[in-house]
Amino acid sequence: MTISSALNAGVAGLQSNATRLASISDNIANSSTMGYKRVETDFHSMVISSDGGQYSAGGVRATTQRLVDQRGALVSTANPTDLAVRGRGFIPVAKASEVGLGVENPNMLLTTTGSFRTDSDGFLRSTSGLVLLGWPAQADGTVPTYPRDTSDGLRPVQINVNQFSGEPTTRMNLGVNLPATGTEAGANGDTQQLSVEYYDNLGNSQSLNVTFTPTVPATGSSNEWTIVLEDSVNPGTTIGEYVVTFNDNRTAGGTLATVTTTSGGAYDPATGSFIVPVAGGPIEIDIGLIGTSDAMTQLSDSFAPVNISKDGSPVGNMTSVEVDANGFVHANFDTGITRTVYQIPLVDLPNPNGMTALDHQTYQPSVDSGTFFLWDASDGPTGDVVSFALEESTTDVAGELTDMIQTQRAYSSNAKVIQTVDEMLQETTNIKR
């Protein structure tokens, strides 16, 4: 019994060391594989109780575990959609084969890095056939609230490289200096004209025409101007008329004193603006707060548009796509605007090492890993998303070669045990001669 248990223990030793050698060879083979997580083999002794009788060798058993929670070093690349997770969390992906079949909710897989580029259909896809998943944003760039304990809200990230985009103008700042001499007695009463471009809902260029008419008194200075606004879409139609007066005292000379609304949206003294209805919708016009010189002023003897600014943009072509540290996918247009089109969440689990390992450095949640939760990148326990970067393999080749030497010696020793047991059994057989 003791001799045969020694033989069994030697065979178990060979099998266990062969398993360890297999994991070492797998780690070394993937030492240059981006995102690869090394496999670790542990030995566990098997003890057979003798209950005070004859001793019997129990042998050894090998178990392997992929260390998914280990993180490799990040290396920079030239592709803005090369993504890696810095810290805790995983990027959600799906198989391109499922996406190609039009599956509404493809099976979510997890990875820590990936080199994604747009394919013929505009999907952000890696060379290994993985498609990036994310939450689609609305037309205004905001991301709705999606459930965080399920992947049902995730959709394949699809970028339309032929996409056009325009932003309508909703706010405008009229930083204009009106000549103080224009409201003095004896002035010729010349009006001042100003045309400010704005963009309508279709990205077309339109104009807001502003006329400044001074009030010329018989004596002294009135410091009063009438502002009339017209929309180029409907020439000759007044969309707003306001009477403004300016201070002429020593401490606040040239600043707005009063604003009286004749027609159009009422002037709001708290914001220093009023709203006028152009053909494409309302535009908020900022002329400044009472008693300040942050926008409209009356100084000197010259008319000068000092600071004319507005939001909105004409129709432009998409030029590039980038992902920020919070996982937001931004589309950049040649007009200089940037629009959010998707948000990439980071998935976290209680036990990452308990996930099921699949091909292409992807993992699937399991019973051992626990339930997953979708976090905003850099929120909660998760790290952030790094673009222009990939994660290297966690394999340390020097350490693996050292383990290989130890494994080879242990394998040889177990083989020697089997050889010795064989010789002892041979001697036992020779007793009968």
**Cα separation, 26 vs 16, whole angstroms:** 15
Whether the per-residue pLDDT at 13 is higher than 90: the answer is no
pLDDT score of 294: 87
Whether the per-residue pLDDT at 186 is higher than 80: the answer is yes
Whether the per-residue pLDDT at 68 is higher than 90: the answer is yes
Residue 50: pLDDT band with limits 50, 70, 90: low
pLDDT score of 104: 73
Mean pLDDT of 297-326: 86
Whether the per-residue pLDDT at 101 is higher than 90: the answer is no
3 state SS of 104? coil
Whether the per-residue pLDDT at 165 is higher than 90: the answer is no
3 state SS of 215? coil
Mean pLDDT of 393-416: 93
Whether 72 contacts 392, CB under 8 Å: yes
Show me where the domains of the chain are located: 2-67+394-430, 74-161+343-391, 169-311
Angle at 409 between CA 404 and CA 412, to 5 degrees: 125
Residue 78: pLDDT band with limits 50, 70, 90: very high
Summarize pLDDT for 242-292 with one digit per residue, the tens: 999 999 998 889 999 999 999 999 999 999 999 999 887 899 999 999 998
What does the block give as tokens for 278?
Answer: 């152009």
User: 169-311 belongs to which homologous superfamily?
Assistant: Flagellar hook protein FlgE (2.60.98.20)
Residue 40: pLDDT band with limits 50, 70, 90: very high
Residue 139: pLDDT band with limits 50, 70, 90: confident
pTM score: 0.69
Whether the per-residue pLDDT at 162 is higher than 60: the answer is no
Range 33-53 burial, b when 16+ CB lie within 10 A, else e: bbbbbbbbbeeeeeeeeeeee
Summarize pLDDT for 209-227 with one digit per residue, the tens: 999 999 999 899 999 999 9
Whether the per-residue pLDDT at 73 is higher than 90: the answer is yes
Secondary element (H or E) of residue 19: helix 2-29
Whether 386 contacts 326, CB under 8 Å: no
Whether the per-residue pLDDT at 332 is higher than 90: the answer is no
Least confident of 46-50, 334-338, 365-369: 46-50
**Average pLDDT value for the chain:** 89
Least confident of 295-299, 338-342, 380-384: 338-342
Whether the per-residue pLDDT at 140 is higher than 80: the answer is no
Whether the per-residue pLDDT at 376 is higher than 90: the answer is yes
**Cα separation, 428 vs 426, whole angstroms:** 5
pLDDT score of 41: 92
What does the block give as tokens for 74?
Answer: 């990040």
Least confident of 22-31, 262-271, 288-297, 307-316: 307-316
pLDDT score of 72: 92
Whether the per-residue pLDDT at 167 is higher than 80: the answer is no
3 state SS of 425? helix
Mean pLDDT of 123-152: 90
pLDDT score of 94: 94
More confident residue, 391 or 54: 391
pLDDT score of 60: 87
Q: Is the dihedral of CA 146, 131, 89, 109 positive or negative?
A: positive
Mean pLDDT of 78-91: 94
pLDDT score of 34: 93
Mean pLDDT of 125-154: 90
pLDDT score of 59: 80
